[in-house]
Amino acid sequence: MKDYTAYMLAEILKGTFKAYGSAYGHGVSGVNLGAKTGTGTYGAEIYQQYNLPDSAAKDVWINGFSPQYTMSVWMGFNKVKQYGTNSFVGHSQQEYPQYLFQDVMSDISSKDGEDFKKPKDVNGSDGDNLSVAGHPDNNTTNRSVHGDSDTSSSSSSNGSSSSSNSSSGNTNGSSQSSSGNALTRLFNLNAIFDDKAS
């Protein structure tokens, strides 16, 4: 992968911690983070067969990084247990991987605001207006500050232009609504994952 591609992707993935992102509130002050989150589901027939709630997830995960560290957290199930008992991640537990990511990154990171090094081939001073030097850039992406709307357009005909949208500032949202750290919360919920069916 070209260095400018990696940089621009990192700038895009910083948006995961912004107000419109799926890990909003799980950033670490003073640490530039990027991430991709995900939620896996069972097929519709499994939800019907076991009467699982619509919000039930098969698994949830976050793959994230800073200029110094990379971390992945996964939580979930690979199959439905008999009667569907203890076979899904409930809505209230679906942010636990993000809490763990946040806690570990907070503990190991220097919080000095270090950012990803911008390659010389990248033009633009903010994440919303980046392009590759020497390549025509007719791609634009506009995102409202509050995440209310997204519009994208592209008129590039050669497929070699690039753009990204995100902020290169250090404004990762940070909050934690439950007491204790993520590891404590996960271990206190051990009964949810107990193999014993009642």
Range of the domain at 10: 3-193
SS (H, E, C) the chain: CCHHHHHHHHHHHHHHHCCCCCCCCECECCECCEEEEEEECCCHHHHHHCCCCCCCECEEEEEEECCCCEEEEEEECCCCCHHHCCCCECHHHCCHHHHHHHHHHHHHCCCCCCCCCCCCCEECCCCCCCEECCCCCCCEEEECCCCCCEEEECCCCCCCCCCCCCCCCCCCCECCCCCCCHHHHHHHCHHHHCCCCC
In a domain, 14, yes or no: yes
Say what the pLDDT of residue 82 is.
84
Say what the pLDDT of residue 4 is.
92
Say what the pLDDT of residue 85 is.
83
Say what the pLDDT of residue 137 is.
57
- CATH code, 119: 3.40.710.10
Say what the pLDDT of residue 126 is.
75
Say what the pLDDT of residue 106 is.
98
Say what the pLDDT of residue 81 is.
87
Say what the pLDDT of residue 162 is.
37
The total number of structural domains that make up the chain: 1
Say what the pLDDT of residue 181 is.
52
Q: Average pLDDT per run of 10 along the chain, which is 198 residues long? A: 93 95 97 98 93 94 98 94 88 96 97 95 82 69 42 37 38 43 48 42
Alpha-carbon distance of 51 to 83, in angstroms, equals: 9
